[in-house]
Amino acid sequence: MSKLNFFGDVFLDKPQLAKVPLEGEYIFNLESPLTRSAKPVWGKINLKSEAVYFKETFGKNPAAVCLANNHVMDYGKEGFLETVENLQKHGIHYFGAGRLADNCHNPLVLELGGQRIALLGYVCPSTHPIFAAAENFGVSPINLTAIAKDILRARAARAQRIIVQLHWGAEDVGLPKPTDVTLAHRIIDLGADLIIGHHAHCIQSFEIFKDKYIFYGLGNALFPNTERVSYSREGLRENNRQIEWKKWNQRSLAVQFDYHSLAIDIRLLAFAKTLAVIPGARIDKLYGFKGRAGAPYQRHYARVLRLAMLRRLLTSFMSRPRIPKKENLRWIIQLFKTDKRQ
């Protein structure tokens, strides 16, 4: 069997039901630490899952998970080490996080179906992650020089297929940033066979560049409504509220990659108590990216970004009606003043 299935963001605070046929192994972005730690990092929205629910949800454990995201360090070193311990206990590999001393476990090379598959994961600073240092745990930043070196390491480890996962993009925006498009093209030129993106909590467009697929954002695969919790420096809970996802936040893409032929099969999924395939979806028409570039795309993206940000603001006010602060009103005025280059 030569299939590898990729899902988007997964956060499981309890078992869920995924009715998605799995041919071969699967991988997803694990959007929270697996920990019982009571020591949250301050100044973040802190997520955690206190147990491993993958097998109960998908029917079997993943071959690996991507830890290159902005939440894996929500409970610091203690939470990260417990996450690694839980993954190892269940025989699950990981990549994209660790220390600089171990290169954040990039690349992870898996032996599957007679092929050696390299997996690499990186995070954009705009997502506010905690980056690794020499002896401090964290995630690996998106850096072309580092990615080029890691691809060479993968080739030296006799990897025949190279898959790069990137945590990037603007939340609730269905298009990639112009800078992300340029970056993705460069990574393909460096030798990646497939790029998988996540973070936006909605599906972002995909394209074929030089016969290689680039998925800018797969969306939330399994991310139930949950309490949004952050903590002060003193460890006190503050700014707590319920996350109520919208319809576009509960749809995602599942990508099936044939690592022998490089063929791609894409399925549209929806999560509403159960994760299931939406049959007959015209995925190319809905999410295909036409490879726009240059100033016209930058202006188009700027308009889409402004509308998405306004939609988020209005949705927030509708869910919690209150008198707008002066800074909110100034922000809205500034938002529509000029087309900002992204």
In a domain, 232, yes or no: yes
**Mean pLDDT, residues 87-98:** 99
Q: Are 231 and 327 contained in the same domain?
A: no
Report how far residue 46's alpha carbon sits from residue 23's, in angstroms, rounded to the nearest whole number.
34
Mean pLDDT, residues 65-93 taken together = 98
97-98 and 138-139: which strand pairing? antiparallel
Does residue 342 sit within a domain?
no
**CATH at 179:** 3.60.21.10
- What percent of the chain has pLDDT above 70? 87
Band (204; pLDDT cuts 50, 70, 90): very high
Q: Are residues 66 and 107 in the same domain?
A: yes
In a domain, 203, yes or no: yes
Pairing of strands 226-231, 93-95: unpaired
Q: Are residues 49 and 196 in the same domain?
A: yes
> Does residue 202 carry a pLDDT above 90?
yes
Do residues 179 and 196 share a domain?
yes
Return the pLDDT at 339: 46
pLDDT at 224 over 60: yes
| Residue 330 and residue 267 in one domain | no
Q: Three-state DSSP class for 305?
A: helix
Cα gap 145→207, rounded to integer Å: 24
Are 313 and 269 found together in one domain?
no
Check whether residue 144 and residue 171 sit in a common domain: yes
* pLDDT tens track for 17-64: 999 999 999 999 999 999 999 999 988 889 999 999 999 999 999 999
> Do 260 and 318 belong to one domain?
no
Domain of residue 261: give its range: 3-289
Q: How far apart are CA 324 and CA 328, in angstroms?
A: 6
Count: domains in the chain: 2
Answer whether residue 91 shows pLDDT above 60.
yes
Residue 326 has pLDDT above 70, yes or no: no
Sorting pLDDT into bands at 50, 70 and 90, what band is 107?
very high
Report yes or no on whether pTM surpasses 0.85: yes
